[in-house]
Amino acid sequence: MQHDPAIIAGVTLALETAINETISLSLGTREALAQKCGACIAIYCSSPEVSVYFFVNDSGTVSLQNYSEAEITVSLSGSWRDFQTVAAANDAAGALVNSNISVTGDTAALIEIQQIVSDMDIDWEAPLVASLGHVAGHQLANALRGFWRWRTDSHRRISRQVSEFIIEEGRLSPSKHEIDAFLSDVDDIVLKVDRLESRIKRLQRQLKPASEPS
Contacts to another protein by CB under 8 A: 4-6, 8-10, 13, 65-70
Nearer to another protein, 5 or 28 (CB): 5
Nearer to another protein, 14 or 193 (CB): 14
Q: How far is the CB of 19 from another protein (least distance, A)?
A: 16
Q: How far is the CB of 42 from another protein (least distance, A)?
A: 13
Q: Are 12 and 42 in contact (CB under 8 A)?
A: no
Nearer to another protein, 50 or 166 (CB): 50
Nearer to another protein, 36 or 138 (CB): 36
Q: How far is the CB of 31 from another protein (least distance, A)?
A: 21
Length of the chain: 214
Q: What is the DSSP letter of 74?
A: E
Residue 163 — φ and ψ, nearest 5°? -65, -45
Residue in 38, 115, 45 with CA at minimum distance from that of residue 76: 45
Q: Are 34 and 58 in contact (CB under 8 A)?
A: yes
Residue in 71, 74, 152, 69 with CA at minimum distance from that of residue 109: 74
Q: How far is the CB of 69 from another protein (least distance, A)?
A: 4
Nearer to another protein, 21 or 194 (CB): 21
Tell me, letter by letter, the H, E, C secondary structure of 75-129: EEEECHHHHHHHHHCCCHHHHHHCCCCEEEECHHHHHHHHHHHHCCCCCCHHHHH
- Dihedral sign (CA 204, 205, 210, 214): positive
Q: How far is the CB of 18 from another protein (least distance, A)?
A: 16
User: Left, alpha or beta for 8 (phi > 0: left; psi -120 to 50: alpha)?
Assistant: alpha
Q: How far is the CB of 75 from another protein (least distance, A)?
A: 17
Cα 34 from Cα 119, distance rounded (Å): 15
Nearer to another protein, 59 or 152 (CB): 59
